[in-house]
Amino acid sequence: MNSLEARNVSKIYTVDKREICVLDQVSLTIQRGEFVVIMGSSGSGKTTLLSLLSGLDNPTQGRVLVEEQDITDWSEDQLAPLRNETIGFVFQSFHLVPSLSALENVMFPAELHGDRQARAKATTLLTRVGLTERKSNFPHQLSGGEKQRVAICRALINQPRILFADEPTGNLDSKNGTAILDLLVDLHAEQQTTLVLVTHSPEIAARAERVIFLQDGRLVDDRRQTVGATNGLSNTVAVR
């Protein structure tokens, strides 16, 4: 089954009566379980494409399909359960709720879903990424690496079939960035989650099964590559 599909997708913004084409007739298909990296220079349309594929924004032209359902014209009420059940998001800036503890941040999507096991599932996820002792801490009490691990746990609690990550290591030092990438790759391999990741980093792209290149809003290259096997997810991830 196709996990994601874009059909001749364009995105045009109007600024001071001037039209700016951010994406221009992009078409692609991502299979279920693939690990795909989207690369390109700043302004190439990477984040815009991610927003369209995930239903966070609508294309000006073209169609977007998620698991073979055309979501292009869906209302917010239709998109809400898709985002909460099928899709997970990891952002560069974490987007944790400041007034909630690490545990409560992870629980939040599951509680919206009415899951009575939300606390138990959140606790298990935080333990798995080495944050058992930090679950009662608030975001301002956590390091960047810890915040990103909490954000990943929150994205995974409803066991999404598709995980989007927009520069997930962009605000981290190289050591923490490598550990976060290891975590995402291991989770992808273990759960067969479709992983779509935007990055500037060739090192990150080298870990993907497929790399899509954008330039000036156009898809200019789409290549598959052989990557080394992962060892599976360890019980803890050493991120500070």
Quick one: pLDDT band at residue 179, thresholds 50, 70, 90?
confident
CATH no. for 34-59+75-224: 3.40.50.300
Q: In degrees, to the nearest 5, what angle opens at C-alpha 46 toward C-alphas 186 and 196? A: 20
Rounded CA-CA distance 137/146 in Å is 10
Handedness of CA 197, 162, 53, 57 (dihedral sign): negative
pTM: 0.86
The whole-number pLDDT of residue 91 equals: 85
Residue 234 pLDDT greater than 90, yes or no? no
Residues 104-150: tens digit of each pLDDT: 999 999 998 889 999 999 999 999 888 999 999 999 999 998 998 99
